[in-house]
Amino acid sequence: MRLVLLGPPGSGKGTQAVRLADHFGVPHIATGDIFRENVREGTPLGLQAKRFMDAGELVPDAVTLRMVAEVLDRAAAQAGFILDGFPRTLPQAEAFDALLDRRGLRIDAVLALDVDTEVVVQRLSARRTCPVCQRAYNLVFAPPKTDEVCDDDGAPLAQREDDREETVRRRQQVYREQTTPVRDHYEALGLVRAIDAGGREDEVFRRTLDALGDPVTA
């Protein structure tokens, strides 16, 4: 099974990617993790990427694609993969198509996790983290016992800057601008399966399996 997941920040894409990888027995490939791994290990590609990251610039598509290609060539990915966070732009999607074509591979489906912006704003703007123990909370879905205070050490909870409402809305807008052409590209190829990503995690997972024609009890 070779899947690409598309979804805005807060859609639960990462969570569903992990569950799908476990369900199908294939690796979850997250481009953010690939970047961190290469930078941490000081690989040639990691050093290239770090120069751009340290300068606050986007890592060029060519560097990102080579990192993804290296992961796809590993033994663990030969039976398939769940790709999360790539491609983000139309040039990346077209380059990825060419990469797969050279390897004689194809994508089985592109899962587009659709969720209302207001639901995402509620999910993300309610996130809090304990600055002491790093325990994560959500004031709506997983609140602390005492209002905005960590259950474990009593420290006041903090909100990440990118979880503030105005930032969340901006991230949604940027995502739509970047990724709409990617979705249109895969729509034209008949690969997109639209998933209603509202609701509980288990419900979304069942909808995802149904969309893949694999209605297994989650």
For 115-127, the pLDDT digits (tens) are 998 888 888 889 9
How many Å apart are CA 148 and CA 176, to the nearest integer?
A: 32
Show me where the domains of the chain are located: 2-27+74-211
Residue 145 appears among annotated catalytic residues: no
Least reliable range by pLDDT among 65-79, 143-157, 161-175, 177-191: 161-175
Is the dihedral angle over the CA atoms 86, 91, 94, 100 positive or is it negative? Answer: negative
Instruction: Provide the whole-model pTM.
Output: 0.82
User: Which one of the listed residues 13, 19, 128, 193 is annotated catalytic?
Assistant: 13
DSSP state of 158: B
- CA 5, chain centre distance (Å): 7
Written as six digits, the tokens of 182 are 């990617």
Residue 50 appears among annotated catalytic residues: no
Q: Evaluate whether 16 touches 205 at the Cβ level (below 8 Å).
A: yes
How many Å apart are CA 91 and CA 62, to the nearest integer?
A: 10
User: Which one of the listed residues 50, 88, 135, 169 is annotated catalytic?
Assistant: 88
Q: Evaluate whether 47 touches 33 at the Cβ level (below 8 Å).
A: no
Domain boundaries 2-27+74-211, corresponding CATH code: 3.40.50.300
Residue 13 appears among annotated catalytic residues: yes
Q: Per-residue pLDDT averaged across 57-61, rounded?
A: 81
Residue 102 appears among annotated catalytic residues: no
How many Å apart are CA 84 and CA 22, to the nearest integer?
A: 14
In this prediction, residue 217 carries a pLDDT of: 47
Residue 193 appears among annotated catalytic residues: no
User: Which one of the listed residues 19, 123, 127, 128 is annotated catalytic?
Assistant: 127
